[in-house]
Amino acid sequence: MNKLLFLLVAASLWVSAARGAPISRDPYLGAIAIDAHTGNVLFEDGADRPGYPASMLKLMDLFIILDRVQQGSLRLDDMVQVTKEAAEIGGSQVWLDPRERFTVDELLYALMIQSANDAAMALAIHVAGTRDGFVRMMNDKARELGLSPITQFQSPHGLPPGEGQRPDMTTPRDFAKLCQALLAAHPETVKYTAETFRVFRPEKPFEMRTHNGLLGDVPGCDGLKTGWIRDSGYCIAATAQRDGARVIAVVMGSATKQARDAKATELLARGLLDASRAPAPPPASASVAPVAPAAGPAVAADDEAQGEDLPEAVAEEAPESKGGGWLKSLGLVLLGAFLAAVVGMAIQRRLLLGR
């Protein structure tokens, strides 16, 4: 039944996409806020409604690439050759040229700050060999994360589908789970998502500016990613942290950017009041200096540095000194002999008196 419902919903969205019909609503199609530490839902409204993630899905690109860096099969300083397919992608971009090469790291900044579609395609082809191969990686990762069948990626960039193609789809709940898993697996994510400005290609400078208006305006906000195409409306996956708490908010399908940002700001502010605090790191335990088995008390130059006297428990368990053991045994023998002599004299006296 659930599978049939999914197919019906998906089919209706695919038809809408084919007709070019927007699915945005006022103030939003669906929204959710979760505690990043526990995954507990702090707010939800239409969190399971399917929608188009648009450029938000570039967070899945980042996830896959950081996974491979962590595994050692990819390096941030690896050089990526720009392909003709990447250079011709269109939309938001950093104007890559097939004659150029850039590091994985630089292209990740372009991906997150500028939301560059050409950077997304260049990275996808570099990692998987082909666009379709990378899309398979994206969907495999979605299944690995336990996202619902509604979440289906069709591109590495989130642009509108071409003729006869299906759109990228997800739900606010699924995407919040993706963001939670990304931050947990790769805390360095915020290094890319918190940047608001960066110069790309210094020899021919291109100034990249973030599309995320919450950065700098919402205290503690350090990511993650916005998205917009005409059919999707305005979308955002945002996160903020304060006093050990971290909240993730996802708003999809807003009719206006102002409505999207206002709701995301509200969800982050309310969520931080209710979210759990990460446990503080345990205090460093005081080291106890080992006690040297000296024959007598030693006077240290710095008593504090050498520690206190031998603890009582240790003193109780300390073995007795072996020196003097034979004297104790001799004393016992002499005492026994003395008592025997006294007893013997008493017996002899009684016998004499008895006569």
Tokens 């397919």 found at: 85
Beta strands in the chain (DSSP E): 30-35, 41-45, 79-81, 101-103, 197-200, 206-209, 221-229, 233-242, 245-254
Tokens 């070019």 found at: 20
The active-site residue, picked from 24, 55, 232, 254, is 55
- Crossing angle of helices 172-185 and 58-71, in 10° steps, is 30
The active-site residue, picked from 24, 92, 115, 254, is 115
Is residue 311 within 8 Å of 82, Cβ to Cβ? no
The answer for residues whose C-beta is within 8 angstroms of residue 25's C-beta and 6 or more apart is 233, 253, 254, 255
Rounded distance, CA 33 to CA 237, Å?
10
Alpha carbons within 13 angstroms on the beta-carbon side of residue 297 total 5
Known catalytic membership, residue 92: no
**Residue 111 in tokens:** 């991906």
Sign of the torsion angle spanned by Cα atoms 173, 174, 177, 182: negative
The active-site residue, picked from 24, 58, 225, 232, is 58
Rounded distance, CA 27 to CA 34, Å?
20
Q: Using only the alpha carbons of the chain, give its radius of gyration.
A: 37
Known catalytic membership, residue 115: yes
Rounded distance, CA 38 to CA 176, Å?
12
Nearest to 178 by CA among 274, 39, 3, 14: 39
Is residue 6 within 8 Å of 152, Cβ to Cβ? no
Amino acid letter for position 220: G
Provide the pairing of β-strand 30-35 with 206-209.
unpaired
Residues across the chain = 355
Known catalytic membership, residue 204: no
Q: Point out the residues that are catalytic.
A: 55, 58, 115
